[in-house]
Chains A and B, each alone.
Chain A
Amino acid sequence: MISRLAPDVTVVTGAAGWLGSALMARLGAQRPDGLVALVHDETDRDAVLTLAPQARVVVGDVSDRSGIDALFAGLTGDVDVIHTAGVIHPRRVADFETVNSIGTANVLAAAARAGARRVVHVSSNSPFGTNPDVTDVFRGDEPYDPYYGYGRSKMHAEGHVADAVERGLDAVIVRPPWFYGPHQPARQTTFFTMIRKGRFPVIGSGRQRRSMVYVDNLVDGVLLAELVPTAPGRAWWIADERPYELNEIVDTVGRALRDEGFDVRPNRTRVPAIVGRVAEFADAAIQRTGRYQQAVHVLGEMDKTIAVDISSATTELGYRPAVALHDGMRASIRWCRDQGILL
């Protein structure tokens, strides 16, 4: 694959988020100047500057057009935009649309006005729902079947990308599934703690499969999507080489914790499949009232298969995931320990 050179300016939204932080760490080391980072809160500024001291950090909200305009003000030369800002576990369901859909439309419009070279939009598996069978795998092109509020907002965002491409913008889409790795938020720490205590609820047989992506593999994919010239409007799954069975995930994380010196209890927390169904039902009911309950949502999704096929990213971008589950989880555990996070 022939890559272009890095642009004069790289704009990253959501720079203090999980993916945003991993991306800023990489760009901070690779691009000596022309880094512009959008963060949501003033308190995020220092964290981003620690990862990329050369970055110009702008505080603003993607759902507010004036904040976006400040982000793009005065940029010259080739400009690439990597749009990672989004909300996945909000307080109110309405935030999904405001941030994920309207926010994306705002970023695309500003990028077009600034004459951006390419916009990489970070989407999700959730516009496509769940696989109908444990052996089924989402192909590069699939019908939309959004999974509740988050899925709908990310589907609408992809629609905004398609519209912008129609109007002449060079924008592409990266679709990561469930990710893991350094810079993880607190909810992932809970995941490690549950597995260490043998308390991770495996719903049903545990044979359901999940595609996952190590966050540095995802950074590789995002940067290839930015730099490899392709037709505008393309979308790629970026994930680890293959989907993992839920049982394999739980076993591998347990092994990774043990390899990092933790005392891990065998996971015997089995939950009947009906619990997953009830949770999904409850999640839908709660979301209809405009509220959002993270624990119920995650539990409802846990008995589903969400598996993706990365072959179009491999052939079109030359994407090759370098890290797999065991090594990635060990790195993630070490990162938590280095941050002084108790597992």
Chain B
Amino acid sequence: MSDVTHTATPWPAANSSAEVVVVGSGAGGAPTAALLAEAGLDVLVIEEGPWVAQGEVVPFSLDQMHRQYRSRGVTVALGKPSIAYTEGRCAGGGSEINSGLYWRPPASLLSRWRDEYDLATLDPDEVERILDEIEVALSVQLVPGAPTAPSEVLRRGAAALGWRHDEVPRWMTYPDGDDASRGRRQSMTETYLPRATQAGARIVTGARVDRITMRAGHANGVDVTTDDDARRHIACRHVVVCAGAIHTPALLQRSGIRRNVGASLAIHPTVKLAARFPETMNVPDDVPVHQVKEFAPLLSFGGSASHPGLVALSLADAWDRFGSRIVDWERMSVYYAAITPQGRGRVRALPGFADPLVTYRLTRRDQALLGRGLARLSLVMLEAGADEVYPSFRGASVVSSRSDVAEQQRQFSATRATVMSVHLCSTVPLGGTRSAQRGTDEWGAVPGVGNVTVNDASLLPDAPGVNPQATVMALAIRNTRHHLATDRFARSDA
């Protein structure tokens, strides 16, 4: 995009003060910045990663991992087993790199959160109305024309088993009519960030917020390190932290805010398999839109990015048995089974290190669920016509029949599997005063620090069981409107 309002502001143009600093520009930060700027506030968005416009890199490619992922996609939560996770680190955050699949949070989830976490003000109807707005803003729609072959596999396999399955809508537009492979992702750099800049917000990229500076129990600015290692201090009246479920708690901890911060990390652990079919079917630059929801929210099955490098990666756990199959990558695609776990993890900022220490523990039940999930997914593949299935765990064998699936279940152990997660949340959870895990109040304000709020995936009380982007955006909009209506940002001392 050449339009200057659609890109970041260079540092020299950025003043060294702002009314509100928004840390991070993803699904939480972008709508927050747009709404605050549109209300007339002087907003500065500080983003650690670069601005990469849609179309500049191939989706789900290694190039994208290098430019838009934190640590090039290699980040790990330590535990038995350790769990690899990925985070966006770019303008727009995770919305630039995720599957683009839109899941409206079920009303039952919102009312459960209201009841379990003492969130009396969480009104499911209000959230529903905000979701309606979001669906318009992001052009949420079903894929036009026929789904891709890897997506059709999920539909066909689930239908043969009589299992519930859905086509998931996406935040995509299709400028070329009904060509499903030519979608344009309506990520934050295409939607809420341009809205923010049009309303006067400044967005700086390549700048990391090291800490919130505090005076007499109130924030008075942020310390920033830019890509060229220059350090600056930005004075501000309010800080809204939207750095994602890992870096939001780490920043708060580095700033001396530690109560219930980083102690309740929730994720959706996934295990994978690759499946080979009789016909050519690989789609390297897109993911399937169908998901199997028969066992939701306990278990969900979907398709993963499957460019040849990622196919090879999914065969790597049992390379001695699976490696020779890589020549057939054009007939293969990668699929995942995700669980809603009982386990929780922890995020701890370590002095002297840029990245926090992340740990996560799967319970016995979580491990059993991963094993059963991967077996059920193998059955979907066999029913869809796969001639061979390659489960991603050490010691796995090729699966080509139902009795092989029994053997797969027997051999499976979560500690030998490549467990991954893309949905990270709940590290600074919303909660009423009776919620034991309460990291912020019911609107994301940090208790005891009137002018620091959190407004991203960290606020989700627990793992939602579906892709959380829509939920994150809806909560961010709800909270920001509440703060505007109650003049929180108009008061210098809040």
**Contact residues in B for A145 (Cβ distance below 8 Å):** 372, 375, 406, 409-410
Q: Find the residue from A129, A131, A312 having the highest chain B CB count within 10 A.
A: A129
**Contact residues in B for A143 (Cβ distance below 8 Å):** 372, 375-376, 378-379, 402, 405-406, 408-409
Chain B CB within 8 A of A142 CB: yes
Would you list which residues of chain B between 360 and 394 have a CB under 8 Å from chain A? 365, 368-369, 371-373, 375-376, 378-379
How many residues of A are counted as interface, with CB atoms below 8 angstroms from the partner's CB atoms? 17
Cβ of B405 and Cβ of A132 under 8 Å apart?
Answer: no
Would you list which residues of chain B between 286 and 301 have a CB under 8 Å from chain A? 294-295, 298
From residue A154, how far is it (CB to closest CB) to chain B in Å?
A: 12
- State the total of A-B contacts with C-beta under 8 angstroms: 53
The closest CB in chain A to the CB of B365 belongs to A133
**Contact residues in A for B375 (Cβ distance below 8 Å):** 143, 145
Q: Find the residue from A133, A143, A312 having the highest chain B CB count within 10 A.
A: A143
Considering the chains assembled together, what is the distance between the CA atoms of A127 and B215 in angstroms? Answer: 65
From residue B448, how far is it (CB to closest CB) to chain A in Å?
A: 37
Chain A CB within 8 A of B12 CB: no
Taking a contact as CB atoms closer than 8 A, the residue among A129, A136, A140, A312 that contacts B295 in the complex is: A136
Chain A CB within 8 A of B163 CB: yes
Considering the chains assembled together, what is the distance between the CA atoms of A16 and B408 in angstroms? Answer: 38
Q: Find the residue from A131, A141, A144 having the highest chain B CB count within 10 A.
A: A144
How many residues of B are counted as interface, with CB atoms below 8 angstroms from the partner's CB atoms? 23
Cβ of B162 and Cβ of A312 under 8 Å apart?
Answer: yes
Cβ of B409 and Cβ of A129 under 8 Å apart?
Answer: yes
Chain A CB within 8 A of B403 CB: yes
State the majority secondary structure of interface residues on B: helix
**Contact residues in A for B369 (Cβ distance below 8 Å):** 132-133, 136
**Contact residues in A for B295 (Cβ distance below 8 Å):** 136
**Contact residues in B for A141 (Cβ distance below 8 Å):** 161-162, 379
Chain B CB within 8 A of A155 CB: yes
Considering the chains assembled together, what is the distance between the CA atoms of A146 and B406 in angstroms? Answer: 7
Chain B CB within 8 A of A258 CB: no
Chain B CB within 8 A of A288 CB: no
Considering the chains assembled together, what is the distance between the CA atoms of A141 and B406 in angstroms? Answer: 13
Chain B CB within 8 A of A159 CB: yes
Contacts A133-B298, A312-B162 given; does A144 touch B365 at CB 8 Å: no
**Contact residues in B for A113 (Cβ distance below 8 Å):** none
Considering the chains assembled together, what is the distance between the CA atoms of A136 and B296 in angstroms? Answer: 10
Chain B CB within 8 A of A43 CB: no
Q: Please, could you name 11 A-B residue pairs with CB atoms under 8 Å apart, sorted by A?
A: A132-B365, A132-B371, A132-B372, A133-B298, A133-B368, A135-B298, A136-B369, A141-B162, A142-B379, A143-B372, A159-B403
* Interface residues in chain A, defined as those with a beta carbon under 8 Å from any beta carbon in chain B: 129, 131-133, 135-136, 139-146, 155, 159, 312
**Which 10 A-B pairs rank lowest in CB-CB distance, beginning with the nearest?**
A144-B406, A143-B375, A132-B368, A145-B409, A132-B369, A132-B372, A143-B405, A141-B161, A143-B379, A133-B298
